[in-house]
A and B are shown apart, each in its own frame.
Chain A
Amino acid sequence: MGGRPMPKPQASCTMTVADGMVVKTQHSSPVAKKAQEGVMELLLINHPLDCPICDKGGECPLQNQAMSTGRTDSRFVDEKRTFPKPLPISTQVLLDRERCVLCQRCTRFSEEIAGDPFIELLERGANQQIGVAQDKPFQSYFSGNTIQICPVGALTSAAYRFRSRPFDLVSTPGVDEHTASGAAIRIDTRRGTVMRRLSGNDPEVNEEWIDDRTRFGFRYLKSKGRITRPLVRGADGQLAETSWTEALRVAADGLLAARDGGIGVLAGGRLTVEDAYAYAKFARVAAGTNDVDFRARANSAEELEFLASHVVGTGPETISYTSLEAAPAVLCVALEPEEEAPQVYLRLRKAARKHGQQVFHLGQWTTPAVERTSLETGAAAPAAKDNLIPAVPGAEAAVLADLPAHVVEALSNGGVLLVGERAAEVPGLYSAVAALGERTGAAIGWVPRRAGDRGALDAGAVPTLLPGGRPVADAAARAEVEQAWGLASGALPATPGRDTDEILAAAASGELAALVVGGVDPYDLADPEAALAALRDVGFLVSLELHTSAVTELADVVLPVAPDAQRAGSYLNWEGRRREFGPALDASGVLPDCRVLDTLAVEMDVDLFTQTPAAAAGEIARLGGWAGAAPAVPAVSPGAPLRPGYGQAVLSSWRQLLDGSTLTIDEPALAGTARPAYVRVNAATAEVLGLAEGAPATVRTERGEITLPVALADLPDGVVWLPGNSGDSRVRTLLGVGHGDLVGVTA
């Protein structure tokens, strides 16, 4: 240091630069060269040199080093140390301890970045090895990253095992379609099949990490349920494959006949911006209605007001990953970051660890994410509990209005409020968030769960807003859009339309004669039974889908659409950042939603001009945003939580990252690392309800019941938590209730 000569060669990766330092490398110093060669020889002593069968072969840093500085032959004549291999440390990660060079990147990643140290160094000396505890597999949502950063083939992917070689693969940059993170990914394909997906490197967005769902969830592309040909319901009541011409004609005829009776459009939350724009324009121009909504989940009118006043039209300059990381304090409302926005969770954890950010969570129990975004990590960290602001489901808005003084103070100094889509399930919560933002000056970020929600909002696939956040009720806003779309003045419907639930109710009662449904899963909606009844009862149902679903089973016409891997497009992530991607696979033979809608509209004798995503994107850019007055801030008074009676509890629920989601079908390896489903209650409530930890408990409503083992957690009294859609715990489907509703609980 300070120019002091070093007695021995130093490893460049562990040495910091100092003043006056003289650096000699293998090119300028024979000592360094010899040392490097010696280290390389040592590393290879116990290495099995099974490159031909190793998945890392061809892209292995150790292989490269061996080629550049290794010996041509081995002087090691003794027996190599061997381990049984491969060792599955989870259903998706395989460990080969013979190949490991003990660099500890994986353990360091798990401990520092993901915060779930399931893997650790075991033993000492020559037997030193990476391992997992016997009863705890590597059940991390971020375990795939360790495969990518492993410099040898010690950690390999079970799903990618022996599938291909680096030189077989064609890499295409892509964007995460599973969450609203907008994470940059790399899609590796071989002969028209996606083989694997890796994390891209975008310092502004996902840095170098992606969650496992994004990494491993791509086999839906090849699943049996993929619809590839248009289907039309024949006279016999059965769906039959037909030509595009025929299917579009039938769909257009049906919709034209229903136009006077009213057409509702449910776009779904998985659309690209361009597709959502096409749905929005289709509803206004072809269907002549504002009855269009992208929200395929529990929603409220208050949410629309909040989105119109706080979210639409904003971009990364309002709130971004960077400003989120720099904020001194963050409050997550109705958002479980690790489960619903894993990239946001990684940033919060990084900020908490590196900058001492205080991350408060308005929730029900000290979840792993609450613990790991606290300064002191670990299961029993006292700081974690302080960061949880507990609220009985339904009382969140009242709690938010009356926050502890230190939280308000922390938020007042440039804090950030993150609100999740679940806030729609609690009356008054969005209003309370808006009021708190007003009071403290904290920036507000809306973090939806699905990738398409944010883009659909800005594209105008909502009943109260036209593209660019223009209020439907505003004549000037309508005039702008009419001019851009080349419509006659007054051609756009002036009254705000119905939202998802109202559209379905209207369809059920016959007020709407037809529905056009995008990627909507009825079981995600607030009342799946009512939704299914509406889809069954509506006169004419057109479904644009990737897979067979509950909607396609009821549809009169099913039009297949292109998956992201076979199309270009863009998403708006939760920041409002536009994330473009191109097709990774051959795009012939499949059409994106915007093209299908455009052609369908042409059959109905109107033109949407959204033949390609590029055309739609150009039109969106020309339209720009709304410069007029911002709509009013929602002011819904906070509701009171329900009081559980005897044998009852208030339900708290959200969805886990890895669950029964449609896009993660055909992924047994991925499903194996999902968190097990439990009924969670606190000890006092368990006693009152007669539940015992580990024993099964049954949660029931008049619709159905769910039986799961009990786990104790620090929930408020009289509250029971269930995962939203994990395994048997399909809350909306089986119980027909949601967050904040009363359920019966028995042992």
Chain B
Amino acid sequence: MFDFFKGFGVTFGTMFKKVVTEEYPEDFPPAAPRYHGRHQLNRHPDGLEKCVGCELCAWACPADAIYVEGGDNTEEERYSPGERYGAIYQINYLRCIGCGLCIEACPTRSLTMTNFYELADDNRQDLIYTKEQLMAPLLPGMEQPPHPMRLGDNEQDYYVQGPVLARKGAENDPVGEQVK
């Protein structure tokens, strides 16, 4: 007998509470800062790619979502400091479980995850992201590879002076992330 009023009581009481529904497509609320969103392949401050095509991310991936093929840098055509670069880089977001093990595996801090979470589509092909889609955008001061090393004579210079270069680059990127 009282259950009837109890039930309506819950419904009535909710009218005075704060609304939890988010107006998602109209409103675009940010994810938590450490949310595991879409990947990004970062660049050195001069625009060269950090990825060396080592495939450690592919090795670490428990879902076999990453496909990498390495390539050989030449003096005429240089994509990253050092000998090797990632010639083919693909992440299959139908498979990716967002665990972030690939980020931990990356030896050059090339692969990181952004907070971008809108990873849905109406066909499978478009959910295999290629290197062009995953590369970080060119910030001021960066130059689209291939181009020669601008910040040193060899890859050692890039890595040893990495922290200094990153701080310098931060002036152009006051938020502290290359992409928001």
Which residues of A from 156 to 214 have beta carbons under 8 Å from B? 161-165, 167-168
Q: Which of B52, B55, B83 contacts A165 (CB 8 A)?
A: B55
Give A61 Cβ to nearest chain B Cβ, in Å: 19
Complex contact B82–A53 (CB within 8 A):
yes
Q: How far is the CA of A52 from the CA of B52 in the complex (A)?
A: 8
Known: A52-B107, A86-B83, A165-B59. A57 touches B54 (CB 8 A): yes
Complex contact B69–A53 (CB within 8 A):
no
Q: How far is the CA of A161 from the CA of B83 in the complex (A)?
A: 10
Q: How far is the CA of A740 from the CA of B84 in the complex (A)?
A: 52
Q: Which of B54, B69, B71, B87 contacts A52 (CB 8 A)?
A: B54
**B-contact bits for A45-71, CB 8 A (1 contact / 0 none):** 000000011000110000000000000
Q: Please give me the residue from chain B that is nearest to A86 by CB atom.
A: B83
With a cutoff of 8 Å between Cβ atoms, the chain B residues found around residue A52 in the complex are 52, 54, 56, 107-108
Known: A52-B52, A53-B54. A163 touches B69 (CB 8 A): yes
Complex contact B69–A164 (CB within 8 A):
yes
Give B25 Cβ to nearest chain A Cβ, in Å: 38
Known: A86-B83, A161-B72, A162-B70. A53 touches B59 (CB 8 A): no
Q: How far is the CA of A168 from the CA of B58 in the complex (A)?
A: 9
Give B12 Cβ to nearest chain A Cβ, in Å: 61
Q: Which of B53, B56, B58, B108 contacts A162 (CB 8 A)?
A: B53
Q: Please give me the residue from chain B that is nearest to A52 by CB atom.
A: B54
With a cutoff of 8 Å between Cβ atoms, the chain B residues found around residue A57 in the complex are 54
Which of A85, A86, A163 gathers the greatest number of chain B CB atoms within 10 Å? A163
With a cutoff of 8 Å between Cβ atoms, the chain B residues found around residue A53 in the complex are 52-54, 70, 82-84
Q: How far is the CA of A163 from the CA of B55 in the complex (A)?
A: 11
Which residues of B from 52 to 81 have beta carbons under 8 Å from A? 52-56, 58-59, 69-72
With a cutoff of 8 Å between Cβ atoms, the chain B residues found around residue A162 in the complex are 53, 69-72, 83-84, 87
Complex contact A167–B59 (CB within 8 A):
yes
Q: Please give me the residue from chain B that is nearest to A168 by CB atom.
A: B55
**B-contact bits for A499-515, CB 8 A (1 contact / 0 none):** 00000000000000000
Give A67 Cβ to nearest chain B Cβ, in Å: 14
Interface secondary structure of A, over-half rule:
loop
Known: A52-B52, A52-B107, A57-B54. A163 touches B83 (CB 8 A): no
With a cutoff of 8 Å between Cβ atoms, the chain A residues found around residue B82 in the complex are 53
Complex contact A163–B70 (CB within 8 A):
yes
Give B72 Cβ to nearest chain A Cβ, in Å: 6
With a cutoff of 8 Å between Cβ atoms, the chain A residues found around residue B72 in the complex are 161-162
With a cutoff of 8 Å between Cβ atoms, the chain A residues found around residue B53 in the complex are 53, 162
**B-contact bits for A137-163, CB 8 A (1 contact / 0 none):** 000000000000000000000000111
Q: How far is the CA of A57 from the CA of B83 in the complex (A)?
A: 15
Q: Please give me the residue from chain A that is nearest to B106 by CB atom.
A: A52
Q: How far is the CA of A163 from the CA of B107 in the complex (A)?
A: 19
With a cutoff of 8 Å between Cβ atoms, the chain A residues found around residue B107 in the complex are 52
Give B2 Cβ to nearest chain A Cβ, in Å: 65
Q: Please give me the residue from chain A that is nearest to B59 by CB atom.
A: A167
**A-contact bits for B86-102, CB 8 A (1 contact / 0 none):** 01000000000000000
Give A376 Cβ to nearest chain B Cβ, in Å: 42
Give A95 Cβ to nearest chain B Cβ, in Å: 13
Q: Please give me the residue from chain A that is nearest to B107 by CB atom.
A: A52
Which residues of A from 66 to 102 have beta carbons under 8 Å from B? 85-86
Q: Please give me the residue from chain B that is nearest to A58 by CB atom.
A: B59
With a cutoff of 8 Å between Cβ atoms, the chain A residues found around residue B69 in the complex are 162-164
Q: How far is the CA of A57 from the CA of B52 in the complex (A)?
A: 13
Give B81 Cβ to nearest chain A Cβ, in Å: 11
Give A53 Cβ to nearest chain B Cβ, in Å: 4
Give A527 Cβ to nearest chain B Cβ, in Å: 45
Which residues of B from 90 to 146 have beta carbons under 8 Å from A? 107-108
Give A483 Cβ to nearest chain B Cβ, in Å: 55
Give A64 Cβ to nearest chain B Cβ, in Å: 15
Q: How far is the CA of A168 from the CA of B59 in the complex (A)?
A: 9
With a cutoff of 8 Å between Cβ atoms, the chain A residues found around residue B54 in the complex are 52-53, 57
Which of B53, B58, B70, B87 gathers the greatest number of chain A CB atoms within 10 Å? B70
Q: How far is the CA of A163 from the CA of B53 in the complex (A)?
A: 10
Give B60 Cβ to nearest chain A Cβ, in Å: 11
Q: How far is the CA of A86 from the CA of B73 in the complex (A)?
A: 12
With a cutoff of 8 Å between Cβ atoms, the chain A residues found around residue B71 in the complex are 162
Q: How far is the CA of A239 from the CA of B70 in the complex (A)?
A: 39
Which residues of A from 692 to 742 have beta carbons under 8 Å from B? none
Give A28 Cβ to nearest chain B Cβ, in Å: 35
Give B76 Cβ to nearest chain A Cβ, in Å: 16
Q: How far is the CA of A58 from the CA of B84 in the complex (A)?
A: 16
Q: How far is the CA of A165 from the CA of B57 in the complex (A)?
A: 12
Can you report 8 A-B residue pairs in the complex whose CB atoms are below 8 A from each other?
Answer: A52-B52, A53-B54, A161-B72, A162-B53, A162-B70, A162-B71, A162-B83, A164-B70
Q: Which B residues have a C-beta under 8 Å from some C-beta of A?
A: 52-56, 58-59, 69-72, 82-84, 87, 107-108
The 6 A-B residue pairs with the shortest CB-CB distance, nearest first, are A162-B70, A52-B54, A53-B84, A52-B107, A165-B55, A53-B52
17 more contacts with CB within 8 A, not counting A53-B82, A85-B83, A163-B70, are A52-B52, A52-B54, A52-B107, A53-B52, A58-B59, A86-B83, A161-B72, A162-B53, A162-B71, A162-B84, A164-B69, A165-B55, A165-B58, A165-B59, A167-B59, A168-B55, A168-B58
